[in-house]
Amino acid sequence: MGQYYQYSLITIAVATPPNDPAGCFPPRPSGLNGMLARLPYIDQQGRKDGFVYVQERHGSVHDEYRNTILQSELLGRGWVLQEWLLSRRLIFITSNQLYFECQSKWPHNEYMETAHLGLDAGRISGRIHSEWKVPLKSLFSYKTKPIGDLWCTIVETYCTLQLTKPELDTFLAIAGIAGEIKRMIAQEATNGDATNKQREYYVAGLWLTDIHHGLLWEQRTRLNTIGSNPRAPTWSWASQSTPIKWQPRGKRVANTCEICALILPDGRSFDLNDTTEYENGSEDPGGVFGVTNSFAALKILSQRRLFLIHRHLTSSETTKISSYTGNATNFAGTWRAVSDPLSPTRHLGWASIESPSVSRQLGEENSIALQALHIARIRGESGGVKFGKLGMTHSVCCVVFIIPREDGRYERVGTGRIFQSQYFDGVQKEEVELV
C-alpha cells in the first residue's frame, strides 16, 4: 500500500471534522472575516496605480494549520502516518481553506502563507518537525541523518497514534515506511558501508543493524494507559500499546552482548553466526524478513546479573541519577530506583518497567529482584571521581530487565541504565532466549 502514496503525483487528504454533513467540500464562510482596508498602490516610479486591499487576520497561519490539520482526527490515526510521510505532495482540505505540503518545504495555504512548525509539538508532522527542526520529508534520506535515529523518531511518533485493531495492524500500518527504510539501508550497503546482508533484516519492528539500541525502548508515560499486543514479542516496542521513546545513544557506545539467532513462531531458527546461510547473495533466506514479520524469540549471549527494583524516583532523584547516566531528564516520572540486593538503600541507576503485571506487583511499597541483561556500555560520561574512579569519567551500562518463564525462556519487562559499571566486571556471558 505504501507504494500507492509514494509514487502518486498528489495525495488529497480531507481534514474536515468527521461528522461534518458537508463532507469534503464544505461551503466557504460568507461575508468578510475581519476589517478590510483599502490602501493606494504606488509603483517603483512613485506613480499611483490602483489600490491594495488589506484584511485583518484572526490568528496565525501556524495556529490554523495546527488546529485544523495537526490536531485533526485524520492525523491521529496510525495508518495515516505512512500515507503522510511517503506522499511527495499533499493537498489538505479543511473547513476554511486548502493547505499544500511537499518533501522540501513547510506547509502553506492557498494564499502562500507558510506555517513554520520548528517549535510545534503537535501530532505527526508537528511532532517530527519539532525533533528535526526542518521539514521531515527532506530528511527522509540516509544522507542526512543516521538511519537508526530516523527510524526511532518515526516509531516514537507512530506509537502516539491510534489503531482500531493494534494486535492486527501494528506492523502492517508502518510496513510502507519500513520498506522505504530497508531500501535506504540497502543503498547504504551499496555505497560500501555494510559488512553483510544481515544489516537489511527487519525483525519485529527493529533493524538487525541497530537492534542493540532498539531493545532499549521505554515507556513515555505511566502504565495507567498501557496495553499489550500478544502478537508481538516482549522485546519489541510493538508489544505495548503505549507511547514509547529511546534515550540518547551516548557518544562512545560499545555493544556488550551478541545476537546469536532469530527464531520464528514455527520454530525455525536462523543462526546469525553461520555465514554460509547468507552466501550467494541471499538477502532474505526463506523470505521471512519481510516488513510485516513478527519473530518469536532472540537468542542473546550476554552478561546477566540480579538487581533490586523499587518505587518510582522523585523528581530530584531523577534529575540526579539522570546526570550520572547521561540521560535527558525524565519528566514523566516513569523511572524506578535500582539497587544491589545486598545494599538496597544505595541507588545504582534507574529502571523503566513496561510490564503491567510487574508494575502492579511493585506498586510504590514493594521491591522486586529482576535479572538484567547487559546490552551496551557507554564510556566517557562525566563524574568518574564521584564513583571512586581515578579519571573524571565513568562508564554506564545499558540493560534490559527480564523475568523467567516456565519453559526456560525469558520475557522482557523493562529497560534501564546502571552507573556503577563494575557490577558486570568478571560476569561470564550466558545464552538467553528472549521471547
Q: Tell whether the model's pLDDT for residue 286 goes beyond 60.
A: no
Domain membership flag for residue 235: yes
Say if residue 166 is in the same domain as residue 122: no
Say if residue 170 is in the same domain as residue 258: yes
Could you give the number of structural domains in the chain? Answer: 3
Domain membership flag for residue 342: yes
CB 209 within 8 A of CB 199: yes
Domain membership flag for residue 310: yes
* Average confidence score pLDDT of the chain: 81
Domain membership flag for residue 37: no
Question: Which residue among 105, 138, 171 closes a domain?
Answer: 138
Spatial neighbors of 197 by CB under 8 A, at least 6 apart, are 189, 278, 281, 282, 283
Domain membership flag for residue 205: yes
- The DSSP H or E segment spanning 211 is helix 211-214
Say if residue 330 is in the same domain as residue 422: yes
Say if residue 219 is in the same domain as residue 95: no
Q: C-alpha cell of 153? A: 523518531
Domain membership flag for residue 212: yes
Question: Which residue among 81, 110, 138 closes a domain?
Answer: 138
Residue with more model confidence, 289 or 287: 289
Burial of 403 (0-12, 13-18, 19+ CB in 10 A): middle
Domain of 386, in residue numbers:
300-434
- pLDDT per residue over 366-405, tens digit each? 999 999 999 999 887 665 445 555 456 788 999 999 999 9
- pLDDT per residue over 266-285, tens digit each? 888 888 876 455 444 445 55
Spatial neighbors of 397 by CB under 8 A, at least 6 apart, are 256, 349, 374, 376, 377, 378, 417, 418, 419, 421, 423, 424
Of 25-39, 85-99, 237-251, 268-282, the poorest mean pLDDT is in 268-282
Say if residue 363 is in the same domain as residue 429: yes
Of 74-78, 338-342, 378-382, the poorest mean pLDDT is in 378-382
Question: Which residue among 76, 109, 138 closes a domain?
Answer: 138
Of 42-51, 330-339, 416-425, the poorest mean pLDDT is in 330-339
Domain membership flag for residue 396: yes
Q: C-alpha cell of 241? A: 500499546
Q: pTM of this prediction?
A: 0.83
Say if residue 231 is in the same domain as residue 186: yes
- pLDDT per residue over 297-320, tens digit each? 999 999 999 999 999 998 888 888
Say if residue 325 is in the same domain as residue 402: yes
Residue with more model confidence, 83 or 56: 83
- Across residues 229-234, what is the average pLDDT? 88
Among residues 129, 120, 59, which one has the least CA distance to residue 101?
129
Say if residue 238 is in the same domain as residue 344: no
Burial of 341 (0-12, 13-18, 19+ CB in 10 A): exposed
- Across residues 104-119, what is the average pLDDT? 77
> Rounded CA gap, 410 and 335, in Å?
22
Say if residue 6 is in the same domain as residue 132: yes
The 10 Å Cβ neighbour count of residue 91 is 15
| Residue 407 pLDDT | 92
> Rounded CA gap, 88 and 6, in Å?
6
> Rounded CA gap, 172 and 292, in Å?
6
> Rounded CA gap, 350 and 312, in Å?
9
Spatial neighbors of 91 by CB under 8 A, at least 6 apart, are 10, 11, 12, 13, 98, 99, 100
Burial of 415 (0-12, 13-18, 19+ CB in 10 A): buried
Say if residue 271 is in the same domain as residue 339: no
Domain membership flag for residue 45: no
| Residue 136 pLDDT | 45
Largest Cα–Cα distance of the chain, in whole Å? 90
**Residue 255: pLDDT band with limits 50, 70, 90:** very high
Say if residue 411 is in the same domain as residue 329: yes
Say if residue 354 is in the same domain as residue 236: no
